[in-house]
């Protein structure tokens, strides 16, 4: 009986291991981002929410500003333009605009900034902490805060939602800015 049980246990373990090798999940579908309820939404909030639905799942394209292909600062610029707010084009310029917001004060629509995807003279993207300290001050990636610790951004994987408390984003967080009036 013990031999038969070990046979079943071995088969079950093999099935679990094989299921873990099933490959990458499919890309996220386009559609609603799943925003938490927002009391007192403004027309600008609704415009941002609609824009997020239109861009969610869009492919990455350097210099892009449309759902056919977009980069991180192009996503921010295009979404805010739909909400009637004109922002500069680059991440650094966007960081220098708006009102600074502390991490504990984030709300839907705030833009969060990182040093995660900085380019350094053709060396490509780097992970926070791998280069000398002066590179850590460069701000080169951003996204829109959704609430509940989540933000949407355009990366080489396309437009999708990530968590601020994930190690990569927590370690590379450089600040946030608010471009919409308070509610």
Report, as residue numbers or ranges, the catalytic residues: 72, 141, 153
Distance CA 178, CA 111 (A): 6
Spatial contact of 139 and 92, defined as CB atoms under 8 Å apart: yes
Spatial contact of 169 and 57, defined as CB atoms under 8 Å apart: no
Q: E strands along 33-179, which residues?
A: 65-66, 69-70, 99-101, 111-114, 141-147, 150-155, 158-163, 173-178
Total residue length of the chain: 183
What is the sign, positive or negative, of the torsion defined by CA atoms of 65, 80, 49, 142? Answer: positive
What is the sign, positive or negative, of the torsion defined by CA atoms of 81, 44, 109, 146? Answer: negative
Looking at the chain, list the stretches that DSSP marks H as alpha helix, in order from N- to C-terminal side: 2-19, 43-55, 72-82, 91-95, 133-136, 167-172
């Amino acid at each position: 009986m013990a031999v038969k049980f070990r046979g079943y246990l071995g088969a079950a373990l093999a099935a679990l291991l094989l299921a873990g090798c099933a490959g990458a999940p499919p890309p996220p579908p386009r559609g609603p981002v799943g925003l938490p309820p927002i009391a007192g939404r403004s027309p600008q909030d609704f415009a941002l929410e609609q824009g997020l639905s239109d861009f969610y799942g869009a492919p990455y394209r350097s210099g892009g500003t449309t759902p056919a292909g977009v980069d991180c600062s192009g996503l921010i610029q295009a979404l805010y333009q739909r909400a009637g707010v004109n922002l500069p084009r680059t991440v650094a310029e966007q960081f220098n605009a708006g009102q600074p917001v502390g991490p504990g004060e984030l709300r839907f629509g705030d833009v969060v900034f990182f040093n995660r995807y900085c380019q350094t003279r053709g060396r490509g993207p780097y992970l926070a902490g791998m280069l000398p300290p002066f590179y850590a001050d460069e701000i080169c990636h951003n996204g829109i805060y959704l609430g509940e610790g989540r933000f949407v951004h355009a990366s080489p994987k396309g437009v999708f939602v990530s968590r601020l408390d994930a190690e990569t984003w927590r370690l590379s967080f450089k600040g946030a800015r608010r471009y919409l009036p308070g509610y």
